[in-house]
Structure 1
Amino acid sequence: MSTQILWYASRATGAVSLVLFSAVMVLGILTAGRKGSSFLPRAAVLRLHRSLTITSMAFLAIHIVTAISDGYVSLSFLDAILPFRSAWEPMWIGLGTVAVDLMLAVGITSALRRRLSPSAWKAVHLSSYAMWPIAVLHGFGTSGGDGTSPWMIILDIVCIAGVLGALAVRLRPDRHPDSVARQAATTAHPRESIGAGR
């Protein structure tokens, strides 16, 4: 495979990874700790979240392998695991490595979720909120890619707007898990809720 094809593959899979991970973030933010709806049951939400995550990781793996293989810059597989040791753009490549390490931690603990305490799993899973913006910065700052090209900036803006919009919806007082639980209890047992309020 030619160096040019590998280079374009690395750029394309990096952009696709950003879109997919942004979709994973939006879905996770909007559905965390909540039941499904009649349109999309809870089990379907979890399957969709898991499938999007696995697909994102596959594209990310291709992004890393093609970036290392194309030979345009000197990168090794250790550079993809150990942060800030790359000879080429150590800051921006290092941010990408940190994002990969956080993603691996989330993925591994999710696979082992039944063997972990809920608090330990949740603590690691919350690192997704750090992983995603770090990955965005990696893509924006790496000069060998399309980080500052107009189409990539537009893609960044759309992904950032999507995640921030999901956070805004999630942080609304009526969307707080306690409020949702109270509303569900009122709907399920309206008389008990009236009696409890007296």
Structure 2
Amino acid sequence: MLEVEIPWTWVLIRATGVAAWLALTGVVAWGLAVRAVKAAGKPFSRALSLHRWLGTIALLLVVVHMALLLVDTYEPFTIVEILVPMAATWKPFAVALGTVAFWLMVPAWLLGRMRKRWGDRWFLRVHALAYAAWPLATAHYVLAGTDALALWSLALLVAGAAVFVVLLLAQTPRERVTADR
């Protein structure tokens, strides 16, 4: 029997990438659900706390995913290749999508912690940028993920996209307009 040794970093890079995408999918789905609860005039502080917690988990998983790329010996990345879009030598466009998604998540996370100081107007404007992180991260997953075409992975992608689209379409037109302001 042929034995193939798989580097532990490669396994962890894949695992943290998929876990980060799942957490980001949860953040977006839960955020859309919180918006619907708020629009209905119901208490939403507990639901908002879960949204913030999921956002923190998603961002931490992305940071671990990026850090593991720095120590991987099979396809090593530099800090510049990770943090600067199109700087990577391996699949530059696919990696850039992930980089841009990360840079869209960071200000939303930071301002979420300083919302009272900065006010709702600034927060909502910056938070609107974070919505673009999900499709960019999804495209990064599909184009850079080595497991993207595996059946289990395709099932996750289809389920995540379905949840995103259903929750987005389930909002009333007023909720969509209010959220964009």
Equivalent pairs counted in the alignment come to: 171
Flag the 1:43–1:152 CA change in 2: closer, same or farther, 3 A: same
Where does residue 126 of structure 1 map in the other structure?
A: 128
Tell me the alpha carbon deviations over residues 93-143 of structure 1, each in whole angstroms, 9 at most, x when there is no partner. 011100010011211221222222322211110112211000000010016
Identity fraction in percent:
25
Where does residue 193 of structure 1 map in the other structure?
A: none
Whose Rg is larger? 1
**Correspondences of 1:1-198 after superposition (within 5 Å):** 4-32=7-35, 34-35=37-38, 41-142=43-144, 145-170=146-171, 172-173=172-173, 176-177=174-175
Inter-partner Cα distance in structure 2 for 1:177 and 1:102 = 22
Query: 1:36–1:42: 8 Å Cα contact kept in structure 2?
Result: no
Inter-partner Cα distance in structure 1 for 2:14 and 2:158 = 18
Which amino acid letter does the alignment assign opposite residue 26 of structure 1?
A: A
Query: 1:29–1:167: 8 Å Cα contact kept in structure 2?
Result: yes
Tell me the alpha carbon deviations over residues 22-61 of structure 1, each in whole angstroms, 9 at most, x when there is no partner. 1110111121274399xx9422111111111111122212
Query: 1:84–1:90: 8 Å Cα contact kept in structure 2?
Result: yes
Unaligned runs of 5+ in 2: 177-181
Query: 2:59–2:106: 8 Å Cα contact kept in structure 1?
Result: no
Query: 1:74–1:87: 8 Å Cα contact kept in structure 2?
Result: no
Inter-partner Cα distance in structure 1 for 2:118 and 2:62 = 26
Flag the 1:77–1:3 CA change in 2: closer, same or farther, 3 A: farther
Inter-partner Cα distance in structure 1 for 2:141 and 2:147 = 8
Unaligned runs of 5+ in 1: 179-198
Inter-partner Cα distance in structure 1 for 2:29 and 2:16 = 20
Question: Runs (4+) of structure 1 moved beyond 3 Å?
Answer: 33-37
Cα RMSD over matched residues? 2.3
* TM-score normalized by the length of structure 1: 0.78
Query: 1:14–1:60: 8 Å Cα contact kept in structure 2?
Result: yes
* TM-score normalized by the length of structure 2: 0.85
